[in-house]
Amino acid sequence: MQPGSEKQNLENKIPCVNCGAELRYLPGTSVLKCDYCGTQNEIIQEDTEIIENDYLEALSKLEDVSQKAFEDFVVCHSCNGQTQFDPEVITNECSFCGASLSIDDQITLEEFRPKYLLPFNIDNQGAKRSFKDWISGKFWAPNTLRKYAKSNKIRGIYIPYWTYDAQTYTTYTGQRGEHYYDTERYTAFENGKSVRKTRRVQKTRWYPASGSIDQFFDDVLVRASFTIPPELGGKRESWDIQHLVPYDIKYLKGFIAERSQLPLKDGFEQAKRIMNNAIRSAIRRDIGGDEQRIHSMSSDYSELMFKQVLLPIWLSTYKFNEKIYHFYVNGRSGHVQGTYPVDKVKVIIAIVLGLLLIAAIVFGTMLYQGKI
């Protein structure tokens, strides 16, 4: 075990001021609650300026141990998820796939230490209500799945993210398209006769365009976790980053914290792709016209800053008809992302009803035309 970890474990123990029992953080509040005697222990919060780290300086000093911390993590042999246990916990379940974990699988890793986090704002019951509302709106989901929403096991996890700031300067070349209309003559057949008609046809004139775009990006979020299933990462997440608080172990009591799995430099490459999409949209606005073509673009990045933060989610994995599905609930907003099974019976009924409707329309048309 890394030297100093025993001291860290002692620091992680936060006893109740009334009875000395272990505490847990109460989501949506600034208190730790004792489940033994019910006493609420206040977390002292201070106004703190959020300080960003110089990205280029960090890359050049990655070997500087003052920038890192040694942390103990338990590795899941099933999905490779890496999470932290409370010091008193000997066994647990993997929060990502439900597999059994043991303290014997613990490893010590050199880590960037997160300096800020967003505390949970929604508790366990609130997360279950969000999932119940979400699954109730999925018409194609099996009706039996709604019963699961009342009894599913859901875990609170702090997920690591990188945030990146950058000033960008982009030059581009392209074309601006402006619509105009021509009158076109064509031949049509009506009642068995050839008829000459005209119609307006939209066409586009293209003009060369070039220019430059200055754009500043603040707190571009990149998830530093690989254990969240890829199918849950399709949509950009919305977080109230302006409410970050300084990292405090008290907010983690009763929850699990995952370690960062994405290197700082790789995270920035992902952030650049996010910025690139926004820059392309800005270029199209700058070109103007009715249509735009971008032939080339080149971006320079300066004033690069970053930080690592922990953000809260409620995660659940469930099995339905021998297949694994996942969902998670944003621990701040209650927004749900997830996968769910499709009820094959509902699909078959819908297809049959659709075919019957088409047959009824065809029959009605033929009856109206006197063909029946």
pLDDT at position 154 over 90: no
**Tens digit of pLDDT for each residue in 119-146?**
999 999 898 888 888 888 887 777 777 6
Q: List the one residue out of 251, 224, 220 whose CA is nearest residue 331.
A: 251
Rounded Cα–Cα distance for residues 302 and 304 (Å): 5
Query: Which whole number is the average pLDDT over 189-197?
Result: 82
CA-to-CA separations, 89 to 15, 23, 257, in angstroms, rounded: 16, 14, 14
Q: What is the mean pLDDT of residues 5-24?
A: 63
At 346, which helix (H) or strand (E)?
Answer: helix 344-368
**Cβ contact 118:310 at 8 Å:** yes
Does position 104 have pLDDT exceeding 60, yes or no? no
Backbone angles phi, psi at 311, to 5 degrees: -120, 145
For residue 91, pLDDT beyond 60: no
193 — pLDDT class (breaks 50, 70, 90): confident
Average pLDDT on 279-287 reads 97
Average confidence score pLDDT of the chain: 80
List b or e across 132-149, with b for residues whose CB sees 16 or more CB atoms inside 10 angstroms. bebbeeeeebbeebeebb
**Which of the pair, 104 or 260, is modelled with greater confidence?**
260
Task: Please state, for a pLDDT cut of 70, what percent of the chain lies above it.
Answer: 78
- pLDDT category at 149 given cuts 50, 70, 90 is low
pLDDT tens digits, one per residue of 285-303:
999 999 999 999 999 999 9
Return the beta strands (E) in 106-154 as ranges: 106-112, 116-117
Mean pLDDT value of segment 352-360: 84
Asked whether 43 and 250 are in contact (CB, 8 A), the reply is yes
9 pLDDT band, cuts 50/70/90, is very low
CA-based radius of gyration for the chain? 29
Question: In the beta sheet, which residues pair with residue 58?
Answer: none
The strand pair at 116-117 and 291-320 is best described as: parallel
